[in-house]
Amino acid sequence: MLILLPPSEGKTAPKTGQPVDLNKLAYADALTPSRQKLLGALAALAELPVERAVSMLAVSAGQAGEVAVDSALSSAPAGPAAAVYTGVLYDRLRLPDLPKRAQGRVLIASALWGVLRPGDEIPYYRFSAKAKLDGIGGLAAFWRPALAEALPDKAGTLVVDMRSGAYSAAWKPKRATLLHVRAFSEVKGKRKPVSHMAKATRGEVARALLEAKKAPESPETAASITEAAGFNVELTPDFLDVIVKD
For 6-54, what is each residue's pLDDT tens digit? 999 889 999 999 999 999 999 999 999 999 999 999 999 999 999 999 9
Number of domains present in the structure of the chain = 1
CA distance 136 to 134: 6
The DSSP letter of residue 198 is: H
Q: Are 84 and 124 in contact (CB under 8 A)?
A: yes
Residue 117 has pLDDT above 80, yes or no: yes
**Angle, to 10 degrees, between the axis of helix 198-211 and the axis of helix 219-228?**
100
Give the residue among 78, 67, 159 at the shortest CA–CA distance from 120: 78
| The residue type at 198 | A
CB neighbours of residue 111 within 10 Å:
21
Using alpha carbons, list the distances in angstroms from residue 134 to 42, 57, 65, 155, 244: 10, 11, 20, 38, 42
From 82, 177, 85, select the one nearest 125 (Cα to Cα). Answer: 85
Q: Is 143 exposed, middle or buried (0-12, 13-18, 19+ CB in 10 A)?
A: buried
Widest distance between CA atoms in the chain: 56
Q: For the whole prediction, is pTM greater than 0.75? A: yes
> What Rg do the C-alpha atoms of the chain give, in angstroms?
18
CA distance 244 to 56: 37
Q: Are 127 and 42 in contact (CB under 8 A)?
A: yes
The three-point CA angle 113-115-116 to 5° equals 90
Amino acid occupying residue 165: G
* Residue pLDDT, tens place only, 132-151: 999 999 999 999 999 999 99
Nearest to 198 by CA among 209, 176, 182, 215: 182
Measured distance CA(202)–CA(199) in Å, rounded: 5
3-state secondary structure of 123: coil
The per-residue pLDDT for 193 is 84
Chain centroid, CA 30 distance in Å: 18
pLDDT tens for residues 120-135?
999 999 999 999 999 9
- What pLDDT digit, counting tens, does each position of 210-236 carry? 999 999 999 999 999 999 999 999 999
Which runs of E-coded beta strand occur in the chain? Answer: 2-5, 79-80, 106-110, 114-116, 121-122, 158-161, 177-187, 190-193, 232-236, 239-244
| pLDDT beyond 80 at 62 | yes
Q: Above 80 in pLDDT, residue 246?
A: no
Amino acid at 65: G
**Domain extent for 154:** 2-244
What is the distance between the alpha carbons of residues 142 and 150, in angstroms, rounded to a whole number? 14
